[in-house]
């Protein structure tokens, strides 16, 4: 698969989108060691994920958070899993499967806080390419009780309670922020929504008029047919 634009939908209006704007000056280069460190921690904490992934032979995933400018290349090669970071508007290396969605949903999926099928049904998550590989990845990740707090705060055990509190605060703050963004989003769209509602009402009225005209047409046709039949009978009678 080469079509790098295939999965790039309009990003959702979320705080993560603005965080992405602010992070724009940070080159992907600086994020690579962070991603590699996170993967190493995950391998140590959740070996069951990687034993389930090992069945994939040389599979490369493109994982795209739609509200950030970065993307992740996750690859499984000969039983080993690797990660790299790129940017969305660059030419991607060859990949077999692609997953895209808002960053917050991808993180929730990683922690098993949301069901992958549900995200897919609601169209928040897009997948393309090797569906079997995507399912294997989803099931492998879901087989462990992944915790971002444990991944990021685990190296120094006495810091864990502090990390728990910090993450909880950040989580609450982010939820409030998401609600605020939703409100702003709605208010920005309000004039357009109202206009669309008016157009919908007009369309409904037009549809009703069309239906009435259809009925009228059917009635006129039936009455014409009746008249033609009675004319035939009359002409027949004359013969």
Partner 1 sequence: MELVCPAGTPASLRAALDAGADVVYVGFRDETNARNFPGLNFSPEELEESLEKAHDMGRQVYVAINTYPQAGNLEPWYRAVDTAARIGVDAVILADIGLLDYAKRQHPELRRHLSVQASASNPEAINFYHSAFDVQRVVLPRVLTVHEIAELIKEIDVETEVFAFGGMCVMAEGRCSLSSYATGKSPNMNGVCSPASHVEYEQRRGKLVSRLGEFTINSFPNEEAAGYPTLCKGRFVGHTGEPSYLFEEPTSLNVMMLLPELIQAGVKALKIEGRQRGKAYVYQVVSGYRKAIDAAMKGEPVPLMDMGNITEGTRSTAGAYEKNWR
Enumerate binding residues for partner 1 (CB under 8 A).
6-7, 9, 48, 52-53, 55, 109, 112-118, 120-123, 126-129, 131-140, 142-145
CB closer to partner 1 out of 16 and 134 = 134
Which one, of 67, 70, 60, 74, lies nearest residue 28 by Cα?
70
CB closer to partner 1 out of 139 and 228 = 139
Minimal distance in Å, beta carbon 102 to partner 1? 15
Strand residues in the chain grouped as ranges (E): 59-65, 70-77, 80-87, 97-101, 126-129
CB closer to partner 1 out of 175 and 216 = 175
CB closer to partner 1 out of 9 and 212 = 9
CB closer to partner 1 out of 7 and 85 = 7
Minimal distance in Å, beta carbon 237 to partner 1? 41
Q: 79-103 burial string, b = 16+ CB within 10 Å, else e?
A: eebebbbbebeeebeebbbbbbbbb
CB closer to partner 1 out of 16 and 98 = 98
- Residues 172 and 180: their CA atoms lie apart, in Å, by 13
Backbone angles phi, psi at 115, to 5 degrees: -85, 130
CB closer to partner 1 out of 134 and 151 = 134
* Local structure of 125: helix, strand or coil: coil
Minimal distance in Å, beta carbon 122 to partner 1? 6
Minimal distance in Å, beta carbon 75 to partner 1? 16
* Local structure of 186: helix, strand or coil: helix
Angle between helices 15-23 and 160-238 in degrees, nearest 10: 120
Minimal distance in Å, beta carbon 120 to partner 1? 6
Burial (CB count <10 Å: 0-12, 13-18, 19+), residue 14: buried
Assess contact for 23 and 68: CB atoms under 8 A: yes
Assess contact for 4 and 69: CB atoms under 8 A: no
Minimal distance in Å, beta carbon 141 to partner 1? 9
Residue whose token pair is 């600086």: 30
Minimal distance in Å, beta carbon 195 to partner 1? 17
């Amino acid at each position: 698969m080469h079509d790098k634009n295939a999965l790039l939908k309009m990003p959702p209006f979320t705080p993560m989108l603005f965080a992405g704007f602010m992070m724009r000056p940070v080159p992907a280069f600086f994020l690579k060691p962070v991603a590699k460190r996170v993967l190493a921690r995950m391998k140590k904490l959740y070996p069951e994920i990687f034993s389930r992934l090992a069945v994939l032979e040389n599979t490369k995933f493109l994982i795209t958070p739609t509200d950030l400018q970065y993307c992740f290349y996750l690859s499984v090669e000969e039983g080993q899993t690797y990660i790299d970071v790129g940017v969305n508007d660059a030419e991607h290396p060859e990949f077999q499967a692609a997953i895209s969605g808002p960053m917050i949903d991808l993180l929730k999926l990683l922690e098993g806080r949301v069901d992958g099928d549900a995200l897919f049904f609601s169209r928040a998550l897009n997948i393309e390419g090797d569906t079997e590989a995507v399912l294997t990845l989803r099931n492998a990740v879901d087989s462990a009780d992944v915790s971002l707090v444990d991944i990021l705060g685990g190296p120094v055990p006495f810091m864990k309670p502090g990390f728990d509190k910090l993450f909880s605060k950040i989580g609450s703050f982010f939820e409030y922020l998401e609600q605020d963004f939703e409100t702003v989003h709605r208010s920005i769209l309000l004039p357009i929504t109202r206009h669309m509602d008016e157009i919908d009402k007009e369309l409904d009225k037009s549809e009703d008029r069309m239906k009435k005209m259809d009925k009228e047409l059917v009635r006129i046709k039936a009455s014409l047919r009746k008249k033609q039949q009675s004319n035939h009978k009359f002409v027949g009678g004359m013969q």
